[in-house]
Amino acid sequence: MKKNKRGGSQQEEKKVLRSIAGSLEEAFSETENDFADEDVIVVDMPEKTVRGQGKKAFFFVCGLLVIIFAIIGIFSTVVFIKNTADDIANNTALKNEFELYLYPLVATDPPTFEEASTLSNSTIIRAAISKILLTGDISNYESDMGVTYIPELDVETNAASLFGGNISIQHETVGGVNERASYDPDKKAYGVSSTNRTANYVPKVKTIESVGDTYTLTVEYYPLSASIPGLDRQNEAVKEMKYVILKSAGDRKTVTSISFGDNNPLGEGNLGNSSTTS
């Protein structure tokens, strides 16, 4: 009987121990799960916050850039409109057009005249050759030993484009030592140095007045101050001349007269070649 009692008590003790072990195991399991859940919550919250702050910073930078570009665009538009208005008010495009047309003529510093028919052969030929050399294309002309040959027909055509078609030319050798154009009657051409592209002056159109197709220009003469003719001017004009130009159909231009301007600090008697023709 005693053995049975002991055996029964041992079995009861085992049941109790198993029950306690199970309870402890369950308690530890729940605690681990709780810790795991808490870890997830602690990690997730800062990550979401950082992402939110990153998005806000990104949108702020984008908005700031949009504002900056908008300000730049407005400023550029205002400057463009102002410059365009100034160009229209100052006839900038028309002045540039006349400056390019007059450049080879001003480069030779022609004398004053009231009618082109009174100009000398030398003046007309020098102006025509200057136009060919400074604004034309001489790549197709015959060239030999540093001398380029300009056909007399091209000289006549360019002279007419400056002074009109009513002028007459007697072909002859013209120019000084540094700008000589030697006429060759056998070739019917002018031989000029391939490097003979010097200019006495470059023009700047100061004012333009027009009546119909007749334009009166006040042209300032500036000494050449660059190795490439016509690109730069010195700060002060040395003299001022008035040009009367007739524009006809097809944008053709003809210089009908040249006279002294109002502002000539050196005086009319000391203006280079600009003396009245006889």
Q: Cα(243)–Cα(250) distance, rounded to whole angstroms?
A: 20
**CB 240 within 8 Å of CB 264:** yes
**CB 140 within 8 Å of CB 232:** no
Residue 79 confidence (pLDDT): 74
**Encoding tokens for residue 104?**
């080879």
**Encoding tokens for residue 75?**
């400023």
**Encoding tokens for residue 60?**
């702020």
Q: Cα(228)–Cα(86) distance, rounded to whole angstroms?
A: 28
Q: What is the dihedral of CA 111, 112, 116, 121, to 10 degrees?
A: -20
pTM above threshold 0.75: no
Helix (H) or strand (E) holding 208: strand 201-211
Residue 70 confidence (pLDDT): 83
Residue 56 confidence (pLDDT): 75
Residue 20 confidence (pLDDT): 60
Q: In angstroms, what CA-CA distances link 49 with 46, 52, 61, 83, 172?
A: 5, 5, 19, 51, 94
Coil, helix or strand for 138? coil
pLDDT along the chain (278 residues), means of 10: 52 63 57 50 52 72 83 78 59 91 94 93 95 91 92 96 92 87 95 78 93 95 64 73 92 93 62 48
**CB 189 within 8 Å of CB 182:** no
Cβ partners under 8 Å of residue 109, min gap 6: 200, 201, 221, 272, 273, 274
